[in-house]
Structure 1
Amino acid sequence: MRWPRATAPAWPVHAATAAAVVGAGAAYALAGPEWRPAVYTLVSVLPIVTLLAALASGHLPDRRPWLLAVVGLGLLFAGQLIFPGWVNEPHLGRAQGSALDLTQSTAHMFFLVGVAAAVRRRASADPGGIIDATLFGLCAGGPLWEWVIQPHLPAAAQPFGQVLLLADLLVLCGVIGCVVRIGMMARPGRGTLGYLLVTGVVTLAATATGTLASGSGTVWSTGLMMVAYLTIAAAPLHPDAPAITLPVGAGPGAGRQRLGWLAAALSANPLIAAVQVLRGTESASLLLPVGTLLVVPLVLLRIRHLSGQRDRAEQTLAYHATHDELTGLYNRRHIAAEIDRALAEVDRGTLDEVTILLCDLDGFKPVNDRYGHPAGDAVLRAVASRLTAAVRREDLVGRLGGDEFLILCRGALGPESAELTARITEAVRAPFPLAAGVVSVGVTTGMAQAGPGRTVDRDVLIGLADAAMYAGKAARGRDARPHRDDAAPASR
């Protein structure tokens, strides 16, 4: 089967879904009680067929969320096969506590897990927003239960059935909140998300209808369930279905307004339970424990996410406080603190020597002038990488600013100092391939050392290295001048 591309029009899917809803409704209305279970069964198996076909064709690249949905639909289909008579009997929203109720609640839990798996990649930039939306949906189910569902439950409702029904309502509300948040993040995938949102809302409406009415209400709740099946069957057929698992940027920020709504949502169930206790309602104890069992894991996950955000922010701040933004080397502040620490160790006798090498690039300004600052930045980053590779593992490399770098060596270098300087010179002088062309720069290195008995501070040590570096530049300048014997004869 050939599936439409993401750029294909979606109206054929909408038209087919509308036609299927009208056809299924007409068939169910015209069929007698003995044939209605068959009509319902055919409708309930349709989303399993479309999902498996979409997965087999490769239309849905991220398979796990959809496979979880197939498992949930399979449970509902199995319940329909085992208990076909419930279509003609009041069942939805009646809190009977039967095996069918348990099957339905378990299936909806699979839908919630499937939606969570779908948004794990899509919401990688905003996991906190998804958790908040799910929490808000779960907590919004509390008023629905206390003010709409629970007062109209039949007298035969079982305690276990009420727990299952309440958990089912809260899970459906959580799915709806999660789907709404995903749709707010980016436009791609909104067509499929719209179908999933309709599925959740219609399923919730079917449950509420089954509770509020009996007799003719059974027909309405069953009809709404068929609409839910047909809309979830249309979701994988939509051209943008693959996009709902693609990562997107963060949606609206988590400001004070959203945190305020979250606080209000988390307060809803305890406040409702408190009001019921004050009024002396016997069922007041049901909402709080069941709602808490579902909400607490998400709250803990949100706290863990916030803690992780704080830790990452602290690590980022600590990194930027000690590292140069352009090159990633240690910055002037950190390298100065390390020099002070090393000199203190020398004074205490725990370190035998400190050596610093001050490196200044030669010919760097013409690179900036000819190729621009982006090329100059690329050269500085490459020099930083080469210096890091040239020094010893325990040496520290920092950037003082501009084209000046400093290397801190702890411990006596001895003869290795000349080898280290040679490695640095050779590494930096190698050509740099840039997009605009190949450039070359040189480097002049000034060395200064401090050992036991030499009382110097950091500024003096850097000043000695700076003087040695400029002496090297001056010496190379004299060497570069032509000798008198080599000079061209003066014109007469």
Structure 2
Amino acid sequence: MSIFTPREHSRAALTAHVGFGLTLLVFGTTRALTDGLPSGVAFLLATLVPIVVIVVMLARSRPPSVTPWVIALVSLLFSTVRDVAWFTDLPFERDEQVAGLVLGISLAVAYTGMLAAAVVIVIPIARGDGGAIIDAAILSVSAAGLLWMLVLAPALDAQDAGGALRSLTLLAAMLVCGTTGAVARATFTARSARPTLAYLLVSALAALVATMLSATTLLAETTTGGTVTDIIWITSFLALAAAAAHPSRSELRTPGRVRAQALTVPHLVVLGLAVCSNLLFAGVLEIQGTGADPSLLIIGSLVVVPLFLVRVWQLAGLFETARADLERQAHHDDLTGLPNRRAATAHLTETVQHVEDGTLAAARVCFLDLDDFKAINDDHGHGAGDAVLAELGARLRACAQDDDFVARLGGDEFVVVHPCEDDELEALTIDRVRDVFAEPIAVQDTVVRLGVSIGSVTVTDREHLTVERVLSLADSRMYADKRRDRSAG
């Protein structure tokens, strides 16, 4: 639920949109048209804007989901390492190899944090998306492998990049791609949080493009990465700030639309190819004679396999949920939530067996039938009749003791099975049931009172009654009780 009034929501949303546009115009223009200190200041301020916005947001409004913003804040602090180093002219910034390694480590840590923040954000949304968000992340990570093979690896090879830098760049590319895919799917799913998610998607896409450009020119320009790259990074930072500033952030914990997504054969084939994509890419490189890329195989597996295991775990959970739902539907009445005739028959069979083998002394079976229930359907409609049955089911469940079994056999017939040892307990059981029906029931614009006829049978090891005989006796005694009530009336 939103923590903003409609007017506050509109004002905050406008502020986020205008703020994003103005800061992007100012910082982007400054970076494009100036050089030296003004350009560096613009870039550094752009990286600090989301930090300030998140801190202020957490201090003032306390969104329902705090964790992802805290993670994002820590990640942003790591992402500013290079910018602060350049701005303060630290010694390692003048060493290209060391600068590249520091940049790679800081970006990898930052991307890992952003991925963690994205995971925390999309988990509530993913619960209702049938696994599509995880599938999108897997497909996006596999696309990162293709991007690595065609663009990033050749560029780094041409610049004679070291193994550590190659691995960090590949890890960053895969994490950014996975984050982008997951957020893109979440943006489509969660309508109420769509503006914030859209800004997060813009931020992730900009970070992906900037990562590619930074990697392909990393050793040539380690200080700023080029004007275009810097402007794209500025866009990424400011979009993240707008995501934190937009009021729809309060809806991030709202589950998305519940979707039952069937795993078709084409779906499984695509998912399987995505999981095996890094092996396929390595095979292509081997066939071409360039040799398989070990970093692609190792890092790709470290990223894809956990996502795949999460997907399998989710499928197992969906299967178990579906199995439990089917089992409940098979043994419970949809209207009242009580066990149905099938469950009642199974419970009576078990009860009779326990009485026969001596593990249960006796049991009281009460067969209930409402009096004049047809009049409610005739006078008020079947909807009102269903409401009465649902209310009576709830009352019977509430008055039942721990060992009691209450079920709806169908129509206006119920059964209560109560373990008992003497007639006094039998009387108490029947009195409790009659008290349930003594209270009036509100139906639409009126109040109705219903009587109930009860047929009671005691099951002991002396009679050796079958389930069918118990139900037959209870039914006949119920009708005898109904006739007595009519004669008395």
Aligned ranges for residues 52-451 of structure 1 at < 5 Å? 52-58=55-61, 60-84=63-87, 98-126=101-129, 128-153=131-156, 154-213=158-217, 214=220, 218-238=226-246, 240-250=248-258, 253-256=261-264, 257-282=266-291, 284-410=293-419, 412-451=421-460
Contact 1:96 1:161 survives alignment (8 Å): no
Displacement of 1:201: 1.8
Question: Structure 2 vs 1, CA of residues 439 and 230 (structure 1 numbering), >3 Å: closer, same or farther?
Answer: same
Separation in 1, partners of 2:107, 2:311: 28
Contact 1:186 1:251 survives alignment (8 Å): no
Separation in 1, partners of 2:293, 2:427: 83
Q: For 1:50, which of 25, 50, 53 is the aligned residue?
A: 53
Separation in 2, partners of 1:345, 1:366: 40
Separation in 2, partners of 1:357, 1:91: 88
Which deviates more, 298-307 or 361-370?
A: 361-370
Displacement of 1:134: 1.6
Displacement of 1:224: 2.2
> Partner of 1:6: helix, strand, or coil?
helix
Contact 1:323 1:330 survives alignment (8 Å): yes
Q: Deviations over 1:385-408 (max 9, x none)?
A: 333344442232221111111122
Q: Deviations over 1:213-250 (max 9, x none)?
A: 44696333223222322332333344544444433313
Letter in 1 for 2:433: I
Separation in 1, partners of 2:401, 2:366: 13
Letter in 1 for 2:442: P
Displacement of 1:43: 2.0
Q: Deviations over 1:345-372 (max 9, x none)?
A: 4444544434321111113222222332
Letter in 2 for 1:339: L
Contact 1:60 1:236 survives alignment (8 Å): no
Letter in 1 for 2:345: A
Question: Structure 2 vs 1, CA of residues 90 and 400 (structure 1 numbering), >3 Å: closer, same or farther?
Answer: farther
Displacement of 1:177: 0.3
Larger radius of gyration, structure 1 or 2?
A: 1
Question: Structure 2 vs 1, CA of residues 330 and 241 (structure 1 numbering), >3 Å: closer, same or farther?
Answer: closer
Displacement of 1:434: 4.1
Which deviates more, 186-195 or 374-383?
A: 186-195
Which deviates more, 186-195 or 291-300?
A: 186-195
Q: For 1:474, which of 470, 480, 483 is the aligned residue?
A: 483
Number of residue pairs matched by the alignment: 477
Letter in 2 for 1:146: M
> Partner of 1:98: helix, strand, or coil?
helix
Separation in 2, partners of 1:251, 1:344: 44
Separation in 1, partners of 2:432, 2:66: 53
> Partner of 1:175: helix, strand, or coil?
helix
Letter in 1 for 2:124: R
> Partner of 2:471: helix, strand, or coil?
helix
Separation in 1, partners of 2:232, 2:456: 83
> Partner of 1:454: helix, strand, or coil?
coil
Separation in 2, partners of 1:377, 1:199: 52
Contact 2:129 2:260 survives alignment (8 Å): no
Separation in 2, partners of 1:21, 1:425: 73
Separation in 2, partners of 1:90, 1:190: 43
TM-score (norm 2): 0.87
Contact 1:390 1:420 survives alignment (8 Å): no
Separation in 2, partners of 1:103, 1:399: 64
Contact 1:28 1:36 survives alignment (8 Å): yes
Q: Deviations over 1:446-490 (max 9, x none)?
A: 12234334343222221111221111222222222xxxxxxxxxx
TM-score (norm 1): 0.87
> Partner of 1:264: helix, strand, or coil?
helix
Q: Deviations over 1:382-441 (max 9, x none)?
A: 222333344442232221111111122345333321222122112222222344232211
Separation in 1, partners of 2:259, 2:475: 51
| Residue in 2 that maps onto 1:488 | none
**Does residue 1:24 correspond to 2:27, yes or no?**
yes
> Partner of 1:325: helix, strand, or coil?
coil
Which deviates more, 231-240 or 157-166?
A: 231-240
Letter in 2 for 1:441: L
Letter in 2 for 1:51: I
Gaps of 5+ in 2: none
Separation in 2, partners of 1:120, 1:16: 28
Contact 1:354 1:409 survives alignment (8 Å): yes
% identity of equivalent residues: 31
> Partner of 2:423: helix, strand, or coil?
coil
Gaps of 5+ in 1: 481-492
Which deviates more, 261-270 or 211-220?
A: 211-220
Separation in 2, partners of 1:157, 1:115: 30
